[in-house]
Chains A and B, each alone.
Chain A
């Protein structure tokens, strides 16, 4: 079917959506601006709401970490004290052994001295018999 370019232009002529169109666009714009404002306001409040549980969680974590740290420190102190006590005990034992050895040595010397004295006081034949024995 023949048609001219003018027919096409006429068919595709601009159509106005009506005077209310601008008002509808402005109403949507106002609505969106209000939504943005509401979202901004709630976004300002929201972090605090979200921060509450986060803060509580952080506090719990902090308490647990502090407890663990104090416990660890106490355990370390206990270990050090035990080592010191053990060392002191070892020193005391060593000292006691040395004292015992010294006492035995003194006793031995005393006994030898007494023995020599005893040997010097005995008669000749008893000494000879003893030497033989």
Chain B
């Protein structure tokens, strides 16, 4: 979540962008591009497709700037539109993948903190989850949203979000163990 001054800055940019200031809109894009792009990337597992979806989300934002009331609303709106565009795109694509996620450059800090192979496998396994489960996991662990916020974004009951999240993590563990078992069997 952006802190106070950053929120104020975004609010000011929002006001200017509504009046047609292109530079202000560019600032809004720059401030939120990682969030929108990462939702799309983790969901679609395809960099070029994710970038395309993220660009579409920002173009849609430009058309709806007048409807955005505040910096908080802007963030909520971007997440909601990104989520829906990803689900739409995922259905259209019909599970066709062009670029593997492992090809992406990872931040140096990540490999220092955790096993990069484990993280890669986690992302791969996440891809196998059903769309709603996958999106809930992304919103919970990428965006650090609580079940109530996820429920509001996805228009689902909070209890459904909680149970789905629990089931999704269990499913990830189960699938990851099975995958590792297959790898060990193949090696030995």
B161 in contact (CB, < 8 A): no
Given known A-B contacts A7-B122, A8-B122, A26-B29, A14 and B35 have beta carbons under 8 A apart: yes
Interface string of A1-44 (1 = CB under 8 A from B): 11101111111111111000110111011001000000000000
Minimum CB–CB distance for B91 against chain A, Å:
21
Q: Is the CB of B58 within 8 A of A14?
A: no
Per DSSP, chain A at the interface is helix
Q: Is the CB of A8 within 8 A of B118?
A: no
Total contacting residues, chain B, CB less than 8 A: 41
CA distance A79 to B35 in the complex (A): 87
Minimum CB–CB distance for B70 against chain A, Å:
22
Minimum CB–CB distance for A11 against chain B, Å:
4
Minimum CB–CB distance for A25 against chain B, Å:
5
Query: Which residue on chain B has the smallest CB distance to residue A21?
Result: B33
Chain A residues within 8 Å of B107, by CB: 13, 15
Given known A-B contacts A3-B173, A14-B35, A16-B34, A28 and B119 have beta carbons under 8 A apart: no
CA distance A5 to B172 in the complex (A): 12
Chain A residues within 8 Å of B33, by CB: 16-17, 21-22, 25
Q: Is the CB of A11 within 8 A of B119?
A: yes
Chain B residues within 8 Å of A2, by CB: 173
Chain A to chain B contacts (Cβ below 8 Å), 12 pairs: A3-B118, A3-B172, A7-B118, A13-B107, A15-B104, A16-B34, A17-B54, A22-B29, A25-B33, A26-B25, A26-B26, A32-B59
Give the interface of A toward B (CB within 8 A): 1-3, 5-17, 21-22, 24-26, 28-29, 32
